Chains A and B, each alone.
Chain A
Amino acid sequence: MAVIRTEHLSHVYSEGTPFVKMAIQDVNLSIEEGEMVGVIGHTGSGKSTLIQHLNGLLKPTSGKIYIDGEDMWADKAKLREIRFKVGLVFQYPEYQLFEETVYRDIAFGPKNMGLSEEEVDKRVRQAAAFVNVTEEMMNKSPFELSGGQKRRVAIAGVLAMNPKVLILDEPTAGLDPKGRDRILGQIQEYQQDQKNTVLIVSHSMEDVAKFAKKVLVMNQSKVFMYDDTEKVFEHASEIEQMGLAVPQVTKIFMRLADMGYPVDPHTYTIQAAKQQVLRLFEEQEAKQKKGGM
């Protein structure tokens, strides 16, 4: 069963004023349980608006959202409960830290869920372990930590709520390559361990190509496509026209294919690229050997 389903979801900002703006229109989505989805789109394409709907922070102007088959806005009293099922990590989440210690900050979410003290403790430690927050860091003030550490603590704060669906908005923005790979790796590990659904909003096609099984492309407030990663990158030229960059590898392989080399132009990971290049060399060597004989 689809864990997230939307029907004709639309949202209009500042309706009835001169500043009216259509943020998303007619979004029909169905995201299955346990999927790792990359959400890409240009600035202002409606990505952020969409994910805020999935968590119930924004109310749709029209259309419906079903989480686990339940209509999110059917009963306002249940909204908070449904919200716990969908964990949302905002952009630059380190700016939301407020508690005296890292431990208490991570515990904020689970405590709000009304869990018992042991359960809260268990979850905090589990979440901290996922993102490598050490025991030593737990008793520090979150304001003493470095930027990357803060970010990981903030992500742990949401992981500790153990949501069925985890949504991260640009979790790697402003981090160095090492920190970026680290966080993405940890999220991937978490997903594989918990078998949860994870949505990651990202600008970086490289990142999306690396981790996502499926990709959701937003363009001009509409869903441009939602499909398996390979299939999405088959439309590389259209994606480029939208002003989104396809991975560097894909660019190179598109060019190679253009030049007449027998390669797949829709290659989007370094791994696949490596295999193809090696195969090409082997074939060439074999040819040369033949010619020599």
Chain B
Amino acid sequence: MLRDITIGQYFPGHSFIHKMDPRMKIIASVLYIVILFVASRPLGLLLGILMVVMMYMISKISAKMVAKSLKPVVPIIIFTAVLNLFFMTGPSEPLVSFGFIHIYPEGVAMAVMMAVRIMCLIAGTSLLTYTTSPIELTDAIEVLMGPLKKVKVPVHEIAMMMTIALRFIPTLIEETDKIMNAQKARGADMETGSLTQRAKALIPILIPLFVSAFRRADELALAMECRCYRGSVGRTRMKQLEYAKRDFVALAVMLLCLALVIVINIYFPKMI
């Protein structure tokens, strides 16, 4: 069923990570990505794995969710791993030679590292959306993008659009479900037929869906105007974002790990 799809997969909780300031969570996520790509030694990547495991344990998000977030990127992981496996060359003798294909030990190492890196990347950044509500997230993005206002980027408007879009995803999914059922009850057949037939079968769903989306947009715009919404100028917030001690602790840990990874890179020149 359509309603089983989760988007903006937020899992409410009260862990250390849930309570962190969303701005710091974004910064920490960026730092984590930097760590993953700076780490060019297996030991450094091991630290990356350790970090993501620790973060999931702290946030009390189940391991099942990790698997769920990794599922859609499996083809990408396999693709990059295979690419690295075949095209990486090294000074040592190839392990296998098969016609024009040569597999070097460096290629194997690189393939494994790349796969691990992508998996950590997805799992780590997914944690951001698992532990932060979409509203908090857009708030944080608005603040972090604040400096762009100086170059006339409509930061507030972008953030507001994101918030509204996120807010309406479940509503529209429900609506689609309803319309699909209604058309099915009128004998619409969406499961069989050729590709063009199936594309045509979507018309009775898409048109009412668009009509209702526009209607909702219109109503929302009116409701916002009735409450004197005038854009960002002079607008204050009910929930002020404030950094707490835990945010600086998290930042310190992240920076420490980054430093460690750099140290590992320098002191272990060989692939260990």
Identify the A interface with B (CB < 8 A): 14, 52, 55, 57, 80, 83-84, 87-88, 90, 93, 95-98, 108-109, 112-113, 143, 157-158, 161
Of B4, B178, B187, B208, which one neighbours A83 at CB under 8 angstroms? B187
On whether A93 and B182 interact (CB within 8 A), knowing A98-B203, A98-B204, A98-B207, the answer reads yes
B181 interface residue, CB < 8 Å from A? yes
Report B164-179 CB contacts with A as 1/0, cut-off 8 Å: 0000000000000011
Given contacts A80-B187, A95-B178, A95-B208, 18 further A-B contacts (CB under 8 A): A83-B187, A88-B182, A90-B181, A90-B182, A95-B179, A96-B179, A96-B186, A96-B204, A97-B208, A98-B203, A98-B207, A98-B211, A108-B188, A112-B187, A112-B188, A113-B187, A158-B185, A161-B187
A72 shortest CB reach to chain B, Å: 14
A167 shortest CB reach to chain B, Å: 9
Report B114-150 CB contacts with A as 1/0, cut-off 8 Å: 0000000000000000000000000000000000000
The 5 A-B residue pairs whose C-beta atoms are closest, nearest first, are A112-B187, A98-B207, A96-B182, A88-B185, A109-B186
Give bound CA distance, A113 to B212, whole Å.
Answer: 27
On whether A96 and B187 interact (CB within 8 A), knowing A57-B181, A90-B181, the answer reads no
B253 shortest CB reach to chain A, Å: 31
19 chain-A/chain-B pairs, Cβ below 8 angstroms:
A52-B181, A55-B185, A57-B181, A83-B184, A83-B187, A88-B182, A90-B178, A90-B182, A95-B208, A95-B211, A96-B182, A96-B183, A96-B208, A98-B211, A108-B186, A108-B187, A108-B188, A112-B186, A157-B186
Q: Which bracket fits the contact residues of B?
A: 10 to 19
Interfacial chain A residues near B188, Cβ < 8 Å: 108, 112
Give bound CA distance, A108 to B203, whole Å.
Answer: 12
Give bound CA distance, A238 to B230, whole Å.
Answer: 52
Give bound CA distance, A90 to B179, whole Å.
Answer: 9
B189 interface residue, CB < 8 Å from A? yes
Of A52, A93, A95, which one neighbours B212 at CB under 8 angstroms? A95
On whether A80 and B185 interact (CB within 8 A), knowing A95-B212, A98-B204, A108-B204, the answer reads no
| Residue on A nearest B212 in the bound complex, by CB | A95
Cβ-defined contact, B185 with A57, below 8 A: yes
Give bound CA distance, A113 to B186, whole Å.
Answer: 9
On whether A57 and B208 interact (CB within 8 A), knowing A96-B179, A98-B203, A112-B189, the answer reads no
Interfacial chain B residues near A14, Cβ < 8 Å: 4
On whether A57 and B184 interact (CB within 8 A), knowing A80-B189, A96-B179, A98-B204, the answer reads yes
Interfacial chain A residues near B183, Cβ < 8 Å: 96
Interfacial chain B residues near A96, Cβ < 8 Å: 179, 182-183, 186, 204, 208
| Residue on A nearest B181 in the bound complex, by CB | A57
Report B200-234 CB contacts with A as 1/0, cut-off 8 Å: 00011001100110000000000000000000000
Interfacial chain B residues near A95, Cβ < 8 Å: 178-179, 182, 208, 211-212
Interfacial chain A residues near B181, Cβ < 8 Å: 52, 57, 90
Give bound CA distance, A112 to B188, whole Å.
Answer: 6
Cβ-defined contact, A83 with B203, below 8 A: no
Give bound CA distance, A162 to B186, whole Å.
Answer: 11
Interfacial chain B residues near A158, Cβ < 8 Å: 185-186
| Residue on B nearest A113 in the bound complex, by CB | B187
Give bound CA distance, A52 to B1, whole Å.
Answer: 14
B139 shortest CB reach to chain A, Å: 27
Interfacial chain B residues near A98, Cβ < 8 Å: 203-204, 207-208, 211
Interfacial chain B residues near A83, Cβ < 8 Å: 184-185, 187
Give bound CA distance, A151 to B214, whole Å.
Answer: 19
Interfacial chain A residues near B187, Cβ < 8 Å: 80, 83-84, 108-109, 112-113, 161
Interfacial chain A residues near B208, Cβ < 8 Å: 95-98
B11 shortest CB reach to chain A, Å: 11
| Residue on A nearest B205 in the bound complex, by CB | A98
A64 shortest CB reach to chain B, Å: 20
